Amino acid sequence: MKKAAYLLAITALAACEQSADIPVPYEGDRIVVNSLVQEDSVIYLRLTRSQPPGATAFPEIKNATIKLTAGDAPMTMQFREINGKGYYVSATTVAAGKPYRIEVTAGGLPGVKAEDTLPRRPRLHDPFAQAGGNRVKVYLDDRSGIDRYRIRLFAAKKGADGKYVPVSRKEYRFDPSYNNSFTDLITETYHEFSLIPDERFDGRDILVVLQTRQVLVKDEVLLLEVTGLTSASWQYLKSLQLQSSGDGNLFVDPTIVFSNVDKGYGIFAGVSSAWVEIPIK
């Protein structure tokens, strides 16, 4: 499922570049770092220059000096253009069990640094979906200790290599008849993703049931992605979610997007995704 991980990594970085209303005085141009570090994937690092409030374009930084380490071992990066945007891409893939640190300098801008680890990869089993209905079921085997998850569901198609790849996101909500562990997340609204801490089911193997907006069609295939998050990636995605939910509401205080980049903006944080194919029977 490496192709799926690649597609989702690039999509995630593109989403990071949405404009945000940050109610603080502008402190001058800074380096903006965007990278969600995915286990078993190379690192895709997007570097841009911040702009004053109201700006709609953020210039790429193409000649940065980057020091990237995995534990004490250095990793090399090269600048590449992908789908019309510039990324610094690591020469080797990321593995669990190491802290990843990055330092970036670019002419005329304050140097920045950030670090994070990788979370535990979620464990999923026994997925099921039936044609004519709208329920998608899977078991999530949670381990003892702090875990945080993002859940997304995709329509899929078979690629040239015979493996299924995500095509588009499917909107869903948690089925109130089954999901006792998610009572605070059960709403009438359908969403493209959910962020879930394991506080209510720590160390248990639980059944997760999603209701899709559309009726399921026989012989189609869905891809379910459940992503483990670190504290940094959780806070970042949660702040984006809160900002999006309050967008355009004058009675909601603007949400500042979380950043763990010292002397700059953006995010450099670990994620670890598990995928399951769900044939609709």
Q: What is the predicted pLDDT for the residue at 273?
A: 96
Contacts of 14 (CB under 8 A, 6+ apart): 85
The structure tokens listed for 228 are 């483990």
The residue behind tokens 């402190």 is 27
Count of C-beta atoms within a 10 Å radius of residue 199: 10
40 three-class SS = coil
Q: What is the predicted pLDDT for the residue at 188?
A: 77
Kind and range of the H or E element at 4? helix 2-15
Yes or no: say if 212 and 224 are a contact pair by the CB < 8 Å rule: no
Q: What is the predicted pLDDT for the residue at 54?
A: 73
Distances (CA, A) of 60 to 3, 63, 228: 25, 9, 29
Contacts of 55 (CB under 8 A, 6+ apart): 19
Tens place of pLDDT for every residue, the chain, 281 residues? 555 554 555 555 554 555 444 445 567 789 999 999 999 999 999 999 998 877 778 899 999 999 999 999 999 999 999 999 999 999 999 999 999 999 999 988 999 999 999 999 999 999 999 999 999 999 999 999 999 999 999 999 998 898 999 999 999 999 877 766 665 566 778 999 999 999 989 999 999 999 999 999 999 999 999 999 999 999 999 999 888 765 544 444 555 889 999 999 999 999 999 999 999 99
Q: Which residues pair with 32 in a beta bridge?
A: 48, 265
3 three-class SS = helix
Q: What is the predicted pLDDT for the residue at 211?
A: 93
Domains of the chain, start order: 2-119+257-271 (2.60.40), 124-228+275-279 (2.60.120)
Distance of alpha carbon 158 from alpha carbon 113, whole angstroms: 40
The structure tokens listed for 239 are 């702040």
Distance of alpha carbon 269 from alpha carbon 117, whole angstroms: 7
Contacts of 52 (CB under 8 A, 6+ apart): 26
Q: What would the DSSP string read from start to end of 207-266? A: EEEEEESSPP-TT-EEEEEEEEE-HHHHHHHHHHHHHHHTTT-TTSPPPPPP---BTSEE
Distance of alpha carbon 227 from alpha carbon 281, whole angstroms: 25
Yes or no: say if 218 and 281 are a contact pair by the CB < 8 Å rule: yes
Distance of alpha carbon 159 from alpha carbon 144, whole angstroms: 37
The structure tokens listed for 87 are 């990324």
Q: What is the predicted pLDDT for the residue at 56?
A: 78
The structure tokens listed for 20 are 């945000």
Q: Which residues pair with 139 in a beta bridge?
A: 125, 207
